[in-house]
Amino acid sequence: MIAESVLVLFGIGLGSALLLALASRLLYVYEDPRVARVEQCLAGANCGACGYPGCPGAAQAVVAGKAGANVCVVGGPASAKAVAEIMGLTVEEREPERAWVDCTGGRRAEAVYRYEGVADCRAQHLFHNGAKMCPEGCLGLGSCVAACQFDAIRMGPDNYPVVDPERCVACGGCAQACPRGVISILSMSARLTHLNETSDCLAPCRQKCPGQIDIPRYIQQLRRGDVAGAVLTIKERNPLLLVCGRVCPRPCETACRRNHVDSPVAINMLKRYAADWEMNSGARLHIPCAPDTKRRVAVVGGGPAGLSCAYFLRRLGHSPTIFESMPLLGGQLRYGIPEYRLPKAVLDWEIEGILELGVEVRTGLRFGRDIGLESLRAEGFEAVFLGIGAWLSSAMRVEGEDSEGVMAGTEFLTRVGLGADTGLGKKVVVVGGGNTAIDAARTSVRLGAEATIMYRRSRQEMPANDEEVLGAEQEGVKFMFLAAPTRVLTGPSGRAEALEYVQMKLGEPDASGRRRPEPVPGSETTIQADTIIAAIGQKPELACLYLPDQTCPLEETKWRTLAADPDTLQTSLPDVFTAGDMFTGPNLVIGAVGGGRRAARSIHQFLTQGAVTRPDKLQRDMIPYTLFSNVQDVRPRQRAETPHLCHGRERTCTFAEIEGPLNADQALAESCRCLHCGLTCYDRDPEPGAA
């Protein structure tokens, strides 16, 4: 009986074994032995960050040729090299990515209610979209910390997650766990090309800045003493921080929540402090650039828009070439802004830093004469950026305008900038109320003339910055308000001798909200003037776009600017992009810088993806619920005052720089005034002197 049962079991076993042996022959499926070897080289974390189902899936994809050698984000370059050796591939250089936390609110954000028993952000999010007033911010329950397999996220002291960049492998687990989209996995290129979206943590200043600089972040870095970090934060949005730190009219400060308590944070002085710190430190900070793509882009115009566009294209890995008609780069920064506001040495240092990244420059080439769209395309440029600015001065449209002694504001400032003879007389009348008019008047004073500004509206309506108007008054510039020129009176030599003008009165408000000036009949008067400078507006010179047979391949607007999509800045030709004054008409430097970056983003997408995309939640206007009518629990604190470098005769007779930088103590004190706002939250009652 024992023998029988043993035999039967042995028989069943043998039968099964034979059957399986036969089956393994008949049903054999070939599996590449390299799959197992490749899998050995991967990290084995099965994190899924590569997009394949675990490491075995990734290994199969590599062998099947669907994935590159650098498929494993956790293993990094070592893994990529090992895989490449097995597969006989070369490793493609890939830009590293890191988790990026956008929220700054955390504990400060006001709670709607507290639902006891929910210990997970995702569950919390199901109840009224979370328990915080801020619809976008962190819920602070740490689902991302639990999701991270690499121990790279912890909850910071303010109860929002802090990423350890050394440990983060960009697997994306945290971003998937977060129901609010607070965490995203971004490469540097993605950060550089990101446009403000309404779901970002946008403090009012960040919404207002045309350059979309992350202002709270860099002020926070200054507060911690990390000036280099602050410079790099600014440079992710603005390569011209020395320039903007000096000349920016600071739209951001008008949006500052401190306006409801005392006066806005001196944001621009802090930017200048950081920028000057880098210049005076003696060494440039290293600016990382994405791996080279060898894609060539022509940037026409070396002004702020062109410099910004070239800078961002270079950082995105492309090879831009700037074409400039003037002998030196800088555009209106060099030839429009006088030395006493922006010293040329400072501008040169800043431009040099941009060019050192690997931007090629060809000067003395004028678009429409020496180069054109066709010649650029023929030379192998895959996209063209047009940023030639707005250099054409508007005419006063009065009799005698063409006489000797009458010139345009930009022309005058350009000649001063070039060091050429200006033919300036002793009594100068500047017509206009913008910054160009003020610059022209203050420059005339420094050249030894007596300057008067004639403006057809009153002081409140002047578009020039308040500080500039004040500075001009202090330097002895006279102002004539409610006066408009009617005729230039010339002497026997044909040279201007006087200007006839008419008194104006303010009538009904027009479309721009300003009251429309109307002439008072019979009030004509004359004023002695041997030089008349017309600074009443500029527009782009679009004639260069016209081909010899009088056609223009690009569309223009009724304001005589280049037409383009306002979000993507793509013109009617898909490979031509624009930004700056050429697109917007005369505008701020920071507007041109921001436009240059947006154009660089579009060009980057055009080159790499073939089409330009537009984010759905693009922030265009201020987000209404972030605008407060008052802020509570904030003590008033004295705003830093602009230090002046020179006074008296030195100021009015030389072109020495007037405004100076803050010192370290002032900068620290000013950075502590920042409320570090999020969309709805802000620091209540910061500790005095807290660092």
Partner 1 sequence: MEYFLLIIAAIFVNNIVLAQYLGNCPFLGCSRATGTAVGMGGAVIFVVTLATAITWLVQKRLLEPMGLEYLQTIAFILVIAALVQFVEMFLKKVLPPLYRALGIFLPLITTNCAVLGIAIICQRKEYGLLKSVVFAAASAAGFMLALVLMAAIRERLDTARVPRALRGMPIGLILAGLMSLAFFAFSGMIA
Footprint of partner 1 (CB under 8 A): 4-5, 8-9, 12-13, 16-17, 19-20, 23-24, 26-29, 117-120, 122-123
How does DSSP classify residue 81? H
Residue with Cβ nearer partner 1 (21 or 345):
21
C-alpha closest to that of 191 among 71, 359, 316: 316
Residue with Cβ nearer partner 1 (120 or 450):
120
Minimum Å gap between C-beta 19 and partner 1 is 7
CA distance 54 to 272: 49
Residue with Cβ nearer partner 1 (5 or 512):
5
C-alpha closest to that of 50 among 33, 72, 29: 72
**Which residue type, as a one-letter code, is found at position 27?**
L
Residue with Cβ nearer partner 1 (177 or 413):
177
Minimum Å gap between C-beta 302 and partner 1 is 57
CA distance 637 to 260: 12
Minimum Å gap between C-beta 286 and partner 1 is 44
Query: Encoding tokens for residue 492?
Result: 């026997």
Bridge partners (DSSP) listed for residue 533: 407, 430
Residue with Cβ nearer partner 1 (138 or 590):
138
Minimum Å gap between C-beta 27 and partner 1 is 4
Minimum Å gap between C-beta 6 and partner 1 is 10
Angle at CA of residue 421, ends 416 and 422, nearest 5°: 65
How does DSSP classify residue 460? G
Residue with Cβ nearer partner 1 (7 or 656):
7
Minimum Å gap between C-beta 235 and partner 1 is 42
Residue with Cβ nearer partner 1 (28 or 113):
28
SS3 state at 463: coil
Angle at CA of residue 367, ends 361 and 370, nearest 5°: 85
Minimum Å gap between C-beta 341 and partner 1 is 59
Q: Is 443:652 a contact under the CB 8 Å cutoff? A: no
Minimum Å gap between C-beta 126 and partner 1 is 9
Residue with Cβ nearer partner 1 (53 or 423):
53
Residue with Cβ nearer partner 1 (11 or 476):
11
**Which residue type, as a one-letter code, is found at position 150?**
F
Please name the residues in contact with 186: beta carbons below 8 A apart, sequence gap of 6 or more.
97, 98, 99, 100, 194
Residue with Cβ nearer partner 1 (125 or 427):
125
Minimum Å gap between C-beta 129 and partner 1 is 16
The label of the residue with tokens 């409610």 reads: 482
CA 205 to each of CA 103, 215, 677: distance values in angstroms, whole numbers, following the listed order: 15, 7, 9
Residue with Cβ nearer partner 1 (16 or 523):
16
Minimum Å gap between C-beta 115 and partner 1 is 11
Query: Encoding tokens for residue 320?
Result: 């831009």
CA distance 156 to 213: 24
Minimum Å gap between C-beta 122 and partner 1 is 6
SS3 state at 609: helix
Q: Please give, one letter per residue, the 3-state secondary structure of 91-141.
A: CCCCCCEEEEECCCCHHHCCECCCCCCCCCHHHHHHCCCCCECCCCCCCCC
Going across the sheet that includes 450-454, the strands are: 406-408, 531-534, 427-431, 450-454, 478-480
Q: Please give, one letter per residue, the 3-state secondary structure of 193-244.
A: CCCCECCCCCCHHHHHCCCCCCHHHHHHHHHCCCHHHHHHHHHCCCCCHHHH
Q: Is 675:258 a contact under the CB 8 Å cutoff? A: yes
Minimum Å gap between C-beta 154 and partner 1 is 19
**Count of alpha carbons within 13 Å of 385, Cβ hemisphere only?**
42
Minimum Å gap between C-beta 3 and partner 1 is 12
Query: Encoding tokens for residue 451?
Result: 């300057």
Minimum Å gap between C-beta 11 and partner 1 is 9
CA distance 47 to 439: 60
CA terminus-to-terminus distance, the chain: 91
Residue with Cβ nearer partner 1 (6 or 664):
6
435-446 and 466-474 helices, crossing angle to 10°: 20
Residue with Cβ nearer partner 1 (53 or 165):
53
CA distance 484 to 467: 24
Please name the residues in contact with 604: beta carbons below 8 A apart, sequence gap of 6 or more.
189, 193, 313, 316, 318
Residue with Cβ nearer partner 1 (29 or 511):
29
Minimum Å gap between C-beta 24 and partner 1 is 6
CA 500 to each of CA 235, 497, 519: distance values in angstroms, whole numbers, following the listed order: 49, 10, 13
Residue with Cβ nearer partner 1 (124 or 189):
124
Neighbours of 159 (CB within 10 A): 17
